[in-house]
Amino acid sequence: MENSLVFVLLLLCSFSSARRDRDKDEDEIDPCLADIHAVLRNMTSTLTEYKIEIERLRDHNKDRASTCIFDMLVQTWESCSVENKRPKLESLKNQSSDMGSTLQEQEAKLETLEKQSSDMGSTLQAHESDVKNLKTQTNETKTQVEALFKDKTEQDAKLEILEKQSSYMGSTLKGQVYQNRK
């Protein structure tokens, strides 16, 4: 549970830093996306491990509960005299029902773990979708930055031409004023 919270926080930090740095070019954003993909792969492997562990625990608990109850009944039956068998049998029945409730609690915990693992799966899918959206936004931003840079270059060239024309006209006017004073 703590691992999943760490992964979610890591993803949120990655998304917020990526949004703050939208105007950086794609080469600088790709490492962030690689980190997110690595975290997503790690979460997928952890989820798979949890599922395997859940199945193993379920099988183990079923086998253990049935074996334990049977062994206790046999030991108690053999160790008791005929007079004591009825109260011991009642005691074993109570213990058996207690173990049955313990087994039910274990199964409830397993169901909770299964639900958490499915929730992690849906969270993983949501994060993958967010990564795709982020990449699309990054490409759009890059295209817009390139268009702005091209416009700036064109405007700088026009400004340079205007400055040259202005300086030529200024020097021509100075020459005419000088000749008129003579």
Q: At what angle do helices 26-79 and 2-20 cross, to 10 degrees?
A: 170
Cβ-based neighbours of 142, under 8 Å, separated by 6 or more: 25, 26
Q: Which structure tokens are listed for 126? A: 């949501």
What predicted TM-score, i.e. pTM, was given to this entire model? 0.31
- Residue 25, sorted as left (phi over 0), alpha (psi -120 to 50) or beta, turns out to be beta
pLDDT of res. 146: 92
Q: Which structure tokens are listed for 143? A: 């295209």
Residue spans of the domains in the chain: they are: 2-147
From first to last of its 182 residues, the chain has per-residue pLDDT tens of 566 656 666 666 566 555 555 545 555 556 677 888 888 888 888 888 888 888 888 888 787 777 777 777 777 666 655 556 667 767 777 777 777 778 788 888 888 888 888 888 888 888 888 888 888 998 999 999 999 999 989 988 888 888 888 777 766 666 665 566 65
pLDDT of res. 3: 64
Distance in angstroms (rounded) separating the CA atoms of residues 37 and 131? 8
